[in-house]
Amino acid sequence: MSATRTDAVPLLEAERLALQVGERWLCCEFSLSLAPGECLALLGPNGAGKTTLLHTLAGLREPSVGQVRLGGLPYAAWSPLEAARFRGLLPQQQPDHFAASVLETVLIGRHPHLGRWGWETTEDEAIARQALADVGLQGFETRDVLTLSGGERQRVAIATLLAQSPQLFLLDEPLNHLDLHYQIATLELFRTTVRGANAGKALRHGAVMVLHDINLAARYADHIILLDGRGGVKAGDRDTVLRADLLSQAFGHPLRRLESEGRVVFLPD
Ligand SMILES: Nc1ncnc2c1ncn2[C@@H]1O[C@H](COP(=O)(O)OP(=O)(O)OP(=O)(O)O)[C@@H](O)[C@H]1O
């Protein structure tokens, strides 16, 4: 990344953040800063608070303690429309209550960009079609979303987020329902977008993703936040957080760290 310039303002900052649901503290105070060009993975066992943290970072819920800043400003300083152009959330579930075509569904991602009358232009449609092609769903435009397989529906959701064209991608289990090929393809797609395909161009994008696969986090994330489900948090660079002892403790299962052909993998005993 040395030939590439980054913007000075971080895309996302959390300062002395702590989260509580009911009486339970999900995480004690920690801070983070995500610069353009970087990927952050949120890891931890079921119920540890990954989605709650992601929603807090998305500005959908107030932190119990501390502050979140998007592009250098607290959410209160953003209008909902401006925030929707800057950051986009891939939710964990895609609720479909009504029949709708795949193209109509992806065009929902363009809503924050529509003009005064709220009509999609041919350019919006071209962006939506390109997003579908990017997730390998060219030719699915007229299909009803209710007829899609789980993995196809997940890729439509990813295409909808791509069509939204935010600078900051907030991804809640983006690999849900995806087979091995599309898991890697999806992470490669976001990494290419985040790192910038063209050297020398300013980096604009970043990603925060909730993952369950430690090995994919080791491969694709620059920074890790590991929640242990008991309020403990380890936040830092990938190599300082992805340690067998810390992971074993957090997941309550012994893990071994192995290196193979320059790649680190963690195997459960
Ligand atoms: N409104 C609420 N009231 C009570 N408990 C809640 C509320 N919202 C979330 N929780 C609890 O907070 C904890 C964290 O939930 P969250 O969805 O953030 O976990 P997660 O790490 O994303 O889990 P998973 O890996 O299972 O998706 C869970 O135990 C959940 O039951």
Q: What confidence tens digit (pLDDT) does each residue in 149-189 have?
A: 999 999 999 999 999 999 999 999 999 999 999 999 999 99
Percentage of the chain beyond pLDDT 90 is 87
Instruction: Give pLDDT tens digits for 206-226.
Output: 999 999 999 999 999 999 999
pLDDT at 25: 94
Report, as an integer, the average pLDDT of 54-62: 97
Residues 253, 46: Cα–Cα separation, whole Å: 13
Number of domains in the chain: 1
pLDDT value of position 221: 97
Question: What does the pLDDT look like over 234-247, one tens digit per residue?
Answer: 999 999 999 999 99
* Ligand 1 pocket, CB under 6 A: 21-22, 26, 44, 46-52
Domain for residue 189, yes or no? Answer: yes
C-alpha 167 – ligand 1 centre gap (Å) = 27
Q: 3: CA distance to ligand 1 center in Å?
A: 41
The band of 7, judged by pLDDT with boundaries at 50, 70 and 90, is: low
Measured between alpha carbons, how far is 37 from 9 in angstroms, rounded to an integer?
Answer: 12
Which of 19, 46, 52, 210 gets mutated to test ligand 1 (max ligand atoms within 8 A of its CB)? Answer: 52
Task: Domain of residue 182: give its range.
Answer: 12-88+167-268
Within-domain flag for 129: no
| Nearest-CA residue for atom 8 of ligand 1 | 21
Q: Look at ligand 1, atom 29, and give the residue with the nearest C-alpha.
A: 47
Chain mean pLDDT for the chain: 93
The answer as to whether 177 is a domain residue is yes
Q: Residues 24-28: contacts with CB within 8 Å, 24+ apart? A: 24/231, 25/64, 25/231, 26/52, 26/53, 26/227, 26/231, 27/53, 27/227, 27/231, 27/232, 27/233, 28/231, 28/232, 28/233
Nearest CA to ligand 1 atom 17: 51
Tell me the CATH number at 225.
Answer: 3.40.50.300
Atom of ligand 1 nearest to the CA of 52: 18
Q: What ipTM score was computed for the predicted complex, to two decimals?
A: 0.97
Query: Is residue 97 scored above 60 in pLDDT?
Result: yes
Which ligand 1 atom sits closest to the C-alpha of 210?
A: 22
Looking at the domain assignment, is residue 224 inside a domain?
A: yes
| Domain-located, residue 114 | no
Confidence of residue 51 (pLDDT cuts 50, 70, 90): very high
Which of 132-141, 191-200, 220-229, 254-263 comes out lowest in average pLDDT? 191-200
For residue 45, which atom of ligand 1 is closest to its CA?
25
Percent of the chain with pLDDT over 70: 97
Q: Specify the pTM.
A: 0.94
As a whole number, mean pLDDT of residues 11-40 equals 95
Give the mean pLDDT of 32-56.
Answer: 97
Q: pLDDT class for 96, splitting at 50, 70, 90?
A: confident
49 in any annotated domain: yes
pLDDT at 53: 97
Taking the CA atoms of the chain, what radius of gyration do you get in angstroms? 19
Is 48 inside a domain boundary? yes
Instruction: Tell how far the Cα of 160 is from the centroid of ligand 1, in angstroms.
Output: 25
87 forms beta bridges with: 168
Which residue's CA lies nearest to atom 31 of ligand 1? Answer: 47
Ligand 1 centroid–CA 144 distance in Å is 32
| Per-residue tokens: 158 | 């990813």
Q: Using the mean position of ligand 1's atoms as its centre, give its distance from the Cα of residue 92 in Å.
A: 12
pLDDT tier, 1 (very low <50, low <70, confident <90, very high otherwise): very low
What is the atom index within ligand 1 of the atom nearest the CA of 229? 21
